[in-house]
Structure 1
Amino acid sequence: MQKFIGTGVALITPFKNDLSVDFEALKKLVNYNIDNGTDYLVINGTTAESATISKEERQQIIELIVTTNNNRLPLVLGIGGNNTLEVVKDIKNTDLTNIDGILSVAPYYSKPTQEGFYQHFKAISAATEKPIILYNVPGRTAKNMDAATTIRLAKDFKNIVGIKEAGNNTQQYLELLRDKPEDFLVISGDDDLALGVTLAGGSGVISVIGQAFPKQFSTMINCGLEGKNKEGYAIHFKMMEIIDLIFAENNPAGIKSVLNELNISSTNVRLPLVPASDELQHKIKNFVNNF
């Protein structure tokens, strides 16, 4: 699965002032990332505010990104949830012709057992032949999927090709890297840990900040893939502040503030999220202007 190695970015959904989708800004963001070194694009993830996007809007967003991308980069589509039967139906009813892989989040709110996680992803694996990247993000789902469960899924289902691990848990990353099948991808979902994970044997990142600074972030991850820790950390140290800032209040309000400073999109988010505070936007503006 070479196509999912390197820097993937979890694209935002830009909104106009009336909170309708800003397709022109989205097109600009996609081209900006393609032109500046991003390796693949992730559609309809948490950062895209997928929880507040309608099915009709989702389809329009997919079509716009597919058309703009024009087969230049691999595309990963987020399809997940805590109703297994509905997720399976959604996968089967979605046109995946131009989609290279599916990113599927661990079931949220329901807090399943480890066996529940396993059976959920077993059902998803059977629903498609497309490569599946698991997504473990206990800070949002309220339950951690253990490394042992991930490894069990990796060994049992050939189309489960990787995991976006976003527990900000170094020990769990190391367990995954130690125990995984050779070709299984351990992808960092934590921008602050991405370089270290990659240097330890990970396959890169699905990043939030990467879409704002794709050239720098992808260069850093490539250093990690090549074992160039000194060069990689030189970039990492420069980006530590902005990574902290974009997650200080909520995601994607922080990254949208950065993209607004770069004249790519607005700061608008849909309720229940609210834009970054004036204080945070001021700190982000100072960083961007001095970066």
Structure 2
Amino acid sequence: MNSKFLGTGVALVTPFKTDLSVDYDALNKIVEYNIENGVEYLVISGTTAESVTITKQEKKDITAAVIEANKGRLPLVLGIGGNNTAAIIEEIQTTDLSEIDAILSVSPYYTKPTQEGIYQHFKAIAEASSTDILLYNVPGRTSKNIEPDTIVRLANDFDNIIGVKEAGNSTYQYLQILKNKPDDFLVISGDDDLALGVTLAGGSGVISVIGQAFPKEFSEMIRLGLKGDAKAAYKYHFRLMDVIDYIFEENNPAGIKAVFEALNLCESAVRLPLVPATDGLKAKISAFVKGF
């Protein structure tokens, strides 16, 4: 099993200044904050990074900035996905991936392919990539689930498809994948609320949103889960339960950015069509952070 992705990865936000330009100073602070507090790896340009409203040049600059801030200390995952298979392959082949340990590739959205279409999409990507691939299943955003049989089929057929970030918020689906996957295939939770339970059931940890705001506590919870120490791990889970609900109450990443604002790590600004968290939600989040 690829041990570099055991534990807690964090889906980094893209911090913005009030004029909505990228705040690289804040990005550096967030990266350092997470490394200092014990997360196992960093994920660049996922959904939480507002990747769909980031320009190609900004993506290159953000990736370079994270690589520079990381200084080789943690493994890095880069989001390269979408619904145009040929364009994804072109991006993989024209991007310098020498500092990237794996690609996170989301299932095609909007086009709603069949399971065979999803399989062929990832088959083409796997055959074109010299870098390891983590599948990303998030049917709430793509409106098409990657069925467990398709995930297991891809896992068995391609050595460089090393795992899945599963974010369907279905315990049953997690268990189906865990039951039938190859031994060395990573099942990574993409649901913060289910992450500990999935880890205890045999999962490999999490790619977390809230983990980047409370990296010390969240990553320790997952480490305890990997050891099978449920009682100690759930003490952390119960402390974090309310804020996990808060950050997804309106939209992601407006919620997590409101947490970062309360922690004085970055502004709460997001790019349209997202809007910042409401004053009511910010008040709840601020009260949680002060009391944590």
* TM-score bucket of the superposed structures, by smaller chain: over 0.9
Q: What is the rounded CA distance, in whole Å, between the counterparts of 1:26 and 1:161 in structure 2?
A: 28
How far residue 139 of structure 1 moved from its aligned partner, in angstroms, is 0.2
SS in structure 2 opposite 1:267?
A: coil
**Structure-2-length-normalised TM-score:** 0.99
Give runs of aligned pairs for residues 233-252 of structure 1, distance below 5 A: 233-252=234-253
How far residue 282 of structure 1 moved from its aligned partner, in angstroms, is 0.4
How far residue 267 of structure 1 moved from its aligned partner, in angstroms, is 0.2
**What is the match of residue 152 of structure 1?**
153
Q: What is the rounded CA distance, in whole Å, between the counterparts of 1:77 and 1:2 in structure 2?
A: 18
**What is the match of residue 185 of structure 1?**
186
Deviations 1:199-229 (A, max 9, x none): 0000000000000000000000001100000
**What is the match of residue 232 of structure 1?**
233
Q: What is the rounded CA distance, in whole Å, between the counterparts of 2:278 and 2:69 in structure 1?
A: 32
**Structure-1-length-normalised TM-score:** 1.00
Structure 2: 5+ residue stretches without partners:
none
Q: Which 4+ residue blocks in structure 1 deviate beyond 3 angstroms?
A: none
Deviations 1:140-190 (A, max 9, x none): 000101000000000000000000000000000000000000000000000
The AA in structure 1 aligned to 2:144 is K
**What is the match of residue 264 of structure 1?**
265
**What is the match of residue 29 of structure 2?**
28
**What is the match of residue 220 of structure 1?**
221
**What is the match of residue 117 of structure 2?**
116
**What is the match of residue 50 of structure 2?**
49
The AA in structure 1 aligned to 2:270 is V
Q: What is the rounded CA distance, in whole Å, between the counterparts of 1:148 and 1:179 in structure 2?
A: 8
Q: How many residues align?
A: 291
SS in structure 1 opposite 2:28?
A: helix
SS in structure 2 opposite 1:17?
A: coil
Percent identity, aligned pairs only, is 65
**What is the match of residue 13 of structure 1?**
14
**What is the match of residue 278 of structure 1?**
279
The AA in structure 2 aligned to 1:151 is V
SS in structure 2 opposite 1:250?
A: coil
SS in structure 2 opposite 1:196?
A: helix
1:79 aligned onto 2:86: no
Q: What is the rounded CA distance, in whole Å, between the counterparts of 2:257 and 2:11 in structure 1?
A: 12
How far residue 39 of structure 1 moved from its aligned partner, in angstroms, is 0.3
Structure 1: 5+ residue stretches without partners:
none
The AA in structure 1 aligned to 2:8 is T
Q: What is the rounded CA distance, in whole Å, between the counterparts of 2:201 and 2:228 in structure 1?
A: 9
How far residue 17 of structure 1 moved from its aligned partner, in angstroms, is 0.7
Deviations 1:3-31 (A, max 9, x none): 11100000000000110000000000000
The AA in structure 2 aligned to 1:257 is A
How far residue 127 of structure 1 moved from its aligned partner, in angstroms, is 1.2
**What is the match of residue 100 of structure 1?**
101
Q: What is the rounded CA distance, in whole Å, between the counterparts of 2:128 and 2:95 in structure 1?
A: 11
Q: What is the rounded CA distance, in whole Å, between the counterparts of 2:282 and 2:67 in structure 1?
A: 32
SS in structure 2 opposite 1:263?
A: coil
The AA in structure 1 aligned to 2:62 is I
The AA in structure 2 aligned to 1:90 is E
**What is the match of residue 64 of structure 2?**
63
The AA in structure 1 aligned to 2:120 is Q
Q: What is the rounded CA distance, in whole Å, between the counterparts of 1:232 and 1:91 in structure 2?
A: 38
How far residue 129 of structure 1 moved from its aligned partner, in angstroms, is 1.5
